[in-house]
Amino acid sequence: MADSIKKICDWEEAKKRAQSWKKAGLRIGFTNGCFDILHAGHVRYLQDSAAQADKLIVGLNSDASVQTLKGSSRPIVPENDRAYVLSGLEAVAAVVLFEEETPFELIEWLEPDVLMKGGDYRAEEIVGYDSVTKRGGVVKVLPFLDGRSTTNIVQRIRELTT
**Residue range 58-81, pLDDT digits in tens:** 999 999 999 999 889 889 999 999
Output phi, psi for 98, to 5 deg: -135, 145
Give the pairing of strands 55-61 and 94-98: parallel
Going from the N-terminus, what domains does the chain have, and what CATH number goes with each? 2-161 (3.40.50.620)
Fill in the DSSP letter of residue 35.
Answer: -
Q: Decide if 62 contacts 103 (C-beta within 8 A).
A: no
Instruction: List the one residue out of 106, 149, 162, 107 whose CA is nearest residue 132.
Output: 107
pLDDT for 148 equals 61
Helix (H) or strand (E) holding 157: helix 150-161
Share of the chain above pLDDT 70, in %: 90
pLDDT digits (tens, 9 = 90+) for 91-128: 999 999 999 999 999 999 999 999 999 887 889 999 99
pLDDT for 2 equals 56
Q: Which residue has the higher pLDDT, 51 or 71?
A: 51
| Residue 51 confidence class, pLDDT cut points 50, 70, 90 | very high
Taking CA atoms, 47 is separated from 53, 124, 145, in Å, by 11, 23, 12
Of 2-6, 44-48, 113-117, the range with the lowest mean pLDDT is 2-6
Q: Is the pLDDT of residue 1 over 70?
A: no
What's the rounded Cα separation, in Å, for the pair 131 and 115?
10
Taking CA atoms, 33 is separated from 57, 60, 61, 65, 134, in Å, by 11, 5, 6, 10, 23
Q: Which residue has the higher pLDDT, 155 or 63?
A: 63
Global pTM reads: 0.91
CA atoms within 13 A on the CB side of 36: 23
